[in-house]
Amino acid sequence: GQNIDQPTEMTATEGAIVQINCTYQTSGFNGLFWYQQHAGEAPTFLSYNVLDGLEEKGRFSSFLSRSKGYSYLLLKELQMKDSASYLCAVLSGGYNKLIFGAGTRLAVHP
């Protein structure tokens, strides 16, 4: 079966660092995406990992370990506008479908 797990909710303080974990079990793996979704809006692309290791993009970094079926999204210097849901999604299967996790709702407080 296809399964993607991530924490339901997290809270953090403005200016701090937060790590959002994602574990997956999928039939096939062709890459892992992280998307940000503000309430009532469409998901927007944050990062893509297909090889093991860390990808850094400004305040956001994403890590992948394929052998462990594990990824994390690291957000540094948190800002209030980072309050959103963060969706982990794996590209999998014959049609390379994007399988989404339920998302982690992050609340940043002053």
Partner 1 sequence: DAMVIQNPRYQVTQFGKPVTLSCSQTLNHNVMYWYQQKSSQAPKLLFHYYDKDFNNEADTPDNFQSRRPNTSFCFLDIRSPGLGDAAMYLCATSRGQGGLTGEQFFGPGTRLTVL
Q: Can you give the binding site for partner 1, defined by CB under 8 A?
A: 4, 30-31, 33, 40-45, 48, 50, 87, 91, 95-98, 100-103, 105
76 or 105: CB nearest partner 1: 105
Residue 81 has φ and ψ, to the nearest 5°, of: -70, -10
DSSP string computed for 70-94: EEEEEE-S--GGG-EEEEEEEEETT
46 or 76: CB nearest partner 1: 46
Minimum separation from the CB atom of position 77 to partner 1 (A): 25
Minimum separation from the CB atom of position 12 to partner 1 (A): 19
104 or 108: CB nearest partner 1: 104
Minimum separation from the CB atom of position 2 to partner 1 (A): 11
Task: Please tell me the distance from the alpha carbon of residue 90 to that of residue 21, in angstroms, as a whole number.
Answer: 14
Minimum separation from the CB atom of position 42 to partner 1 (A): 4
Measured on CA atoms in the order 26, 97, 72, 18, is the torsion positive or negative?
negative
Pairing of strands 9-13, 104-109: parallel
